[in-house]
Amino acid sequence: MKVVLDASCAIEIALNKKAADRLKDLLEQSAEALAPDLLVPEFVNGLWKLHQLGGLDLETCDQALDILPDLVNVLVPSAELCREAFALSRAQKSRAAYDMFYLALALREDAVLLTLDGTLKKEARRVGIRVA
């Protein structure tokens, strides 16, 4: 099984939060873990928010940044996914277009989407993507 990892799950794993063990198991069981290269800036932005607004200490942020490169086997260039992401964005009204890059990659690779975002899960299921 191939999986596409989104930023919500990457942060969950890197910070060893509640769902981290389950997500790590899914990654270990997968034949390949992929993400659009958008994962990197989204991950950094999420950490920044947790640091600035939630008081996450810098040492923990640095440790999380060290973990990120090991979470996926392949980062797919967003430029390769932009047409599919745009088409998915046009088909729905409630999500930001950048979220559709994860769906586009999951569709392209017939992969399971790993996300903790409830609205994104719903949209993924609507377009026929398996979600874990």
Distance CA 120, CA 122 (A): 5
Beta partners for 106? none
- Banded pLDDT at 91 (limits 50, 70, 90): confident
Q: What value does the mean pLDDT of the chain take?
A: 95
Q: What is the pLDDT of residues 28-84, one digit of tens each?
A: 999 999 999 999 999 999 999 999 999 999 999 999 999 999 999 999 999 999 999
pTM: 0.94
pLDDT at 132 over 90: yes
CB 78 within 8 Å of CB 38: yes
Sketch out the chain's domains with CATH numbers.
2-126 (3.40.50.1010)
CB 9 within 8 Å of CB 114: yes
Order of all β-strands in the sheet with 112-114: 74-76, 32-36, 2-5, 112-114
Structure token digits, residue 57: 């200490």
